[in-house]
Every structure is written in C-alpha cells, then in structure tokens.
Amino acid sequence: MLIKYLGALLVLLCASVDSQLQSRVIELRTDHFNPLSTSRFDARYLENSEHYQSGGPIFIYISDSEEVDSQFILSGAMWEIARDVGGHLFALEHRYYGESLPTEDTSVDNLRWLTIHQSLADIAQFVAFVRANYEGAINSRVILWGRGYGGALATWARQKYPNAVDGVWASSARINAITEFPEFMSNTFHTINSIGGPECGDVLHEAFRFIENAVRLRDTEFIEQRLNLCSPINVDLEEDVASLMYKIAEDIGYVFVTNARYPEIDEKCFIIRGVDAPENPAENAFEAFARWYVDDFRNSLGDECLDREESFLENIEWNTNATRTGRRQSLWMLCTQLGGFAVANEGENHPFGWRFDINFFRQRCGQIFNQELFTQSFMEQSIADTNTLYGGLRPAVYRVFFTHGEMDPQRNLGPNEDLNANSPAVVMSLQSFGRDFGSPDETDYVVLQQTKARARELIMQWLVDAAEEIPTEPPSETTTVGGPEPAE
C-alpha cells in the first residue's frame, strides 16, 4: 500500500514539475548587426511562471556553453527569490548549442555568428521580447544569473545593455580573456596538495615522472595498457606525447577538481595514497595513481578506453559527437575570443610536465578550424580584443555580484575582490565551480550560507533601486540592438 502511495505521489510531483516548466522558442536574428540580413533562427528558452505576478521581476538564467538546463528555474536560490517577489523565471539557450541552431552546419564560414557580441544581442532581444509579450512585464526589472561563461555573458550584458539588465549574479564568471593561463595547472595541484596532503601531491609528481621516463626510454607498452589507451603512443611525435599528458591533466583539472566537493578530493587521495587498501600496496607511484585515475575516475565515465585524439572535432555536421556535446563550438570560442588555455608553463608549481605550451593549443585550433588563419598573432589579438571591449577584470559595471569557489582552478579569470561598492566579489573557501546556486540549506558550509544570503540581500535591494529609476522603453524585436558589431 505504501509503495502504491509513494508511486502515485511521484507521478503527481513529476506532473507538477512538467506543468510548471514550458519549453518555447523565440525567433532571433542570425546577424544582429547587418540590417540587410533577413536570416533568423529559433532559439529555445525554458519558462517557469508558477510564481509570476503581473509586473513582477524577470529572472533569466544565461546558459553556459551547453544545452539549456532547467534545474535552476525549478529550484535553487533564485527560484526561492522569485517565489518571494512574484518573479518570472526563464532560461535562455545559447546560440549554436542544444536546439538553438542558426546555421546548416558548423563550418568555419558558418561559425562567424558564434560571437560574444551576437550572444549579448540575443539576450537584449530576448529581454525586449519578454517585456513586450508577457502581461504586465513592460516595465519589469530584469536580473540575470549564470555560471562560468554564462556568468561572463550575464556580466557583459549588464555592461552593454544597462537599460535591459538591472542586475547580475555571476558565479565562477570567467571575464578575463587572456591567451595563456598557466595558473590553471598550478591552482589544480595546489587544491589537491592542500586538501589531500603533500603525500598525495608527491605521488602525482612521481607518476608523471614515471610516464616521462617511459617515453624517454621508448618503453611505453606498460603505460599504454595500464592507462587503457585507445591507441599506442608515438614517442617520435611530440604532439602525440603532449596530447597524452594534457589529456590526463585536463581530466584531473577540468573534470575532477573543478567539479569536486571538498571531501571528494580527500577521499580520492586516500586511494592514491593507498589508505583504502593497506594490505595491497601499489608497486610504484604510477600504479598508485592509476588505481584512482583509471580504476576509479575513468571507469566512472564509462569510456571504453582513454582517447587523446581530438580530430573528431573537425566534424561540422550537427548530428556528430563534436557538435552535440558542444565541444567544437566551445573550442571555437576559446580559439577566437575567450582564450584561457591551460599551458604547462615549463611545469612550474605542478606535476603535469611541460609539453603542452601555447603552440600546442594554437596547432590544435588550426587543425580543427583553419591552419593558415590561426597564427599566434591572430589568436593573441582576437582574444585581447575581448578585454578591450569589455574591460577584462575591471568591467565598467555596477549591480553585479561575483562569486567564486576557492577550489575552482579558473577562479583567477574573474574578479576576486570588489570592483566597487555596488559590485562586490566573494571567494568561498572549500568550494569549487558554481556551487552557490542551490537552495539555502542548513547543512551548507557557513561561507556558502553567507554567500547565498548576501546574494538574496543584494538582489532584493537591486530590485528596489531599479524600480526607482525611470523605466526605459525596450527596443522592438526588429531593432538592430547594440549598434555596429566590432570588427572580427
């Protein structure tokens, strides 16, 4: 009887969520900055109107480089704020991701409209659309929030379209566009070493030295088998060895540490240090590392083997793994506008070697897109242009709350100190990437509770302050928003 009751309750809850969440599309201009272009595409957005009262605030979650996610408009800190102020919740999908596809494929020629400038204009047009098409929303205040690149977009939208956006909560926002970012690897190692202990860090150092020695001695069969590589290592091809070293470092930094909770790093270091199996000690540091990296971490990903090959990103069709996952599109953004490449920097302050320098990443950009186009000077200039336009670590914004996790290896790409009295920044100890958007919980770390409380306090005050300002009539759907697009 109890099982029947619980089953019925689950069905009702699922039906309730389904009724709250609506998936819709808005027709956006493919090129906002060419008045002669008539090309348009359907961009997907999600809507939750369960709390909305006519004239209430508009809250828009700005997606990162991925398919739009409904979780933050169905629950979480901003959902609770919307509940308390009669707010209307939306999540806007980024062009070229998910179902928001403006072109027939992702050839280099068709990627020309995948730019920060076009994406910001999408946000401005979406705000105008919501204000014009939802009852009582014509003068509604607008708050954006987002994580990572989505947080950066939200920040830049506040800067470029202040009449459309009244405030922003930017979590782990990466707003500093620099070509080389060696701090990523040193930050990754510092987090592991400080939480898991120096012994854990020593094992990593010795494990990577073991791999380098095997390459130097041209005796890599054991390495290939133990790491479960999809193909043998070509020790005569520097790019292949560099790809292997970077793939492992990328897994550790971007996949594990960036998303790990504090206890998880300690737990995985237990495996690396052999604390979990004292009766079966590892023969050497490489085996100790492999017991975590291969047997635990890689096994949890479900991949058949470790593939360091990136040539699949050359596929331009929408139905390929390269584009469905968004990896081709995201690499385009990194190579042309965002940068932040995790260069090895001669192995300074980390164990991951020296092989993946900026030339390694430049060659990768050229291989995937256009070898002749992606010279070092082209990449440096096009990435530097982003900071010229939007201010790098010192954007001209107010009413933006920047939050970062101390454990996030990319935290230095966003402000770690207050920009001004109305744009504060918080670095949360013992937290990783984007951990602060969940609902306030008494089991949260104190710093997380304080950050969520401060975000709520700031947003409530922003809504009051913005309401006292003279409302600005939003641009019409046919308006070319933002003026001429900067040269690309």
User: How high is the pLDDT of residue 346?
Assistant: 86
Higher-scoring residue by pLDDT: 288, 276: 288
Q: What is the rounded CA–CA span in Å between residue 152 and residue 145?
A: 9
Rounded mean pLDDT, 145-172: 98
Nearest to 35 by CA among 487, 488, 479: 479
More confident residue, 345 or 414: 414
When pLDDT is cut at 50, 70 and 90, the band that residue 277 belongs to is confident
pLDDT at residue 18, rounded to an integer: 52
Q: Out of 13-22, 326-335, 460-469, which region has the weakest mean confidence (pLDDT)? A: 13-22
Query: SS3 for 29?
Result: strand
This prediction's pTM: 0.91
Distance of alpha carbon 435 from alpha carbon 351, whole angstroms: 27
Ordered domains of the chain (ranges, CATH) = 21-174+393-467 (3.40.50.1820), 179-383 (no CATH)
pLDDT for 187: 97
Residue 484's pLDDT band, with cuts at 50, 70 and 90, is: very low
- Specify the pLDDT at position 469: 80
463/210 Cα distance (integer angstroms):
57
Please compute the mean of the pLDDT values over residues 347-359 and round it to a whole number: 94
- Whether 8 has a pLDDT exceeding 90, the answer reads no
Q: Give the model's pLDDT for residue 278.
A: 86
Is 475's pLDDT higher than 70? Answer: no
Residue 307 is predicted with a pLDDT of 95
- Please determine, for residue 471, whether its predicted confidence score (pLDDT) is greater than 80: no
Could you give the percent of the chain with pLDDT greater than 70? 92
Pairing mode of beta strands 167-171, 400-405: parallel
What is the mean pLDDT of the segment spanning 81-105?
A: 98
- Diameter of the chain measured on Cα atoms: 73
Q: Is the pLDDT of residue 477 over 90?
A: no
Other residues' Cβ atoms within 10 Å of the Cβ of residue 463: 21
User: Could you read off the pLDDT of 118-129 as tens digits, one per residue?
Assistant: 999 999 999 999
More confident residue, 31 or 478: 31
Residue 163 clears pLDDT 60, i.e. is over it: yes
Average pLDDT over residues 130-152: 97
Determine the Cα–Cα distance for residues 428 and 395; give it in Å rounded to an integer: 21
Calculate ∠ Cα 388-391-393, nearest 5°: 130
Q: What is the percent of the chain with per-residue pLDDT over 90, rounded to a whole number?
A: 88
Instruction: Return d(Cα 318, Cα 67) in angstroms, integer.
Output: 13
Q: What is the mean pLDDT of residues 234-263?
A: 96
User: What is the per-residue DSSP string for 112-135?
Assistant: GG-SHHHHHHHHHHHHHHHHHHST
Which tens digit of pLDDT belongs to each residue from 296-331?
Answer: 999 999 999 999 999 999 999 999 999 999 999 999
Average pLDDT, the chain: 92
Model confidence at 268: pLDDT above 60 = yes
Mean pLDDT of 49-78: 95
H or E stretch covering 421: none
pLDDT tens-digit readout, 202-237: 999 999 999 999 999 999 999 999 999 999 999 999
User: Is the pLDDT at 488 greater than 50, yes or no?
Assistant: no
Identify the three-state secondary structure at position 59.
strand
